[in-house]
Amino acid sequence: MQLKINNYWTHIIIEWIPYDQFTDIKKIEKVDDNAAISYSAIWKNGPLYYRYNKKEWIRNPNKKVILNCLALDVEKFLNKVNKYSNIYGISQNPNTKDYILVLQNRNCKRCGKSYNDLENKWCKICEINYIQKKFTNWNENEKIDNFIQEKQIKINDINKFFNEANNYNDLYGMSQNPNTNDYILVLQDDQYCNKCCKPYSNLEKKFCKSCQINYIQNNLTNWSRNQKINDFIQEMHLKIDDYDNIIFEWIPYDQFDYFDEVGKGGFATVYSAIWKDGPLNYYKGLYERDNYKEVALKCIDNSHNITDEFLNEV
């Protein structure tokens, strides 16, 4: 799981967490017999996260987490782990020997399953159970009762829809799919990214900051063997805020040709050269390279080891 880490700002550092790290352990109500036994708890040390301004990993202590206890053998347990994207790590109950998934507290506090609507802490399963228990007057006909329950759930869905609609100021109107009965927001098409559906960062150039950062990081194939440099490159990508920003990257030395020494000064020698592939330029939602670009190469003397001072100079 740690080998899958490719950046420091979104990846969770999965680790082994000793059971004595958990306090205030409280059992969460099970919705059905097939659900895992879940607990809410406080993780004393808390998860690791990278503070890039200090270039160090630190912990976020006293973090509220969800513990899913699974009475499975190791192989079946690890297969289960792979289905989760919000896992902090693995632990084990020293008394029962059951393995435990330590999850981000993105789960419903009643049933332990993921919220259907994380922002509003809405769980569809618990909402259905609440309605069924709350309303005491029912018809003797099971079909009618089921119909009533379906309609009550749809009321919650419609309220969520209206709350979502209030977040937009460029609505043409509303509609509904006759096959699925899903409601539809009709928006001005030219204002939203066609990949993530969020407003463009630069409407005139159809530039979406988050999509372009993802595109750059997924499509750059050249990386240094030095992790500190790679982290620095990713930091530079996070600073992209418009379409015409220069895309900082690792450039293999064999990309340069036609060297010509320009001069020396201080602790550096400067050359002119041709970069064969050339830099990335933004064009209609994608990046294209400007081939055979003339560049200057500033070669720092005695810079075999990358230091913070060197990166500050960059």
Domain parsing of the chain, residue ranges: 2-114, 135-187, 209-313
Q: What is the mean pLDDT of the chain?
A: 77
Q: Residue 32 above 60 pLDDT?
A: no
CATH for 2-114 is 3.30.200.20
Q: What's the Cα-to-Cα distance from 125 to each of 87, 115, 136, rounded to whole Å?
A: 22, 9, 19
Residue 34 has pLDDT above 60, yes or no: no
pLDDT digits (tens, 9 = 90+) for 251-285: 999 999 999 998 887 778 999 999 999 998 877 66
Q: How many angstroms separate the CA atoms of 290 and 275, rounded?
A: 9
How far apart (Å, rounded) are the C-alpha atoms in residues 259 and 267?
A: 19
In the chain, pLDDT over 70 holds for what percent of residues?
72
Whether the pLDDT of residue 68 is over 50: the answer is yes
pLDDT attached to residue 18: 94
Which comes out higher in pLDDT, residue 52 or 103?
103
Banded model confidence at residue 53, pLDDT cuts 50, 70, 90: low
d(CA 145, CA 137): 10
Q: Which helix (H) or strand (E) holds 216?
A: helix 209-219
Across 79-100, average pLDDT: 82
Q: What is the largest CA-CA distance in the chain?
A: 94
Please report, in angstroms and rounded to a whole number, the separation of the first and last CA atoms in the chain: 32
Q: At 250, is the pLDDT very low, low, confident or very high (cuts 50, 70, 90)?
A: very high
Q: What is the DSSP letter of 105?
A: S
* CA R_g for the chain: 27
The residue with greater pLDDT, 154 or 240, is 240
- Is residue 47 within 8 A of residue 63, CB to CB? The reply is yes
Q: How many Å apart are CA 221 and CA 230, to the nearest integer? A: 12
Mean pLDDT within 281-292: 79
How far apart (Å, rounded) are the C-alpha atoms in residues 106 and 103?
Answer: 8
pLDDT at 189: 62
Residue 84: helix, strand or coil by DSSP?
Answer: coil
DSSP character at residue 143: H
Three-state DSSP at 13 gives coil
Tokens of 275: 């970069």
Q: What is the pLDDT of residue 195?
A: 73
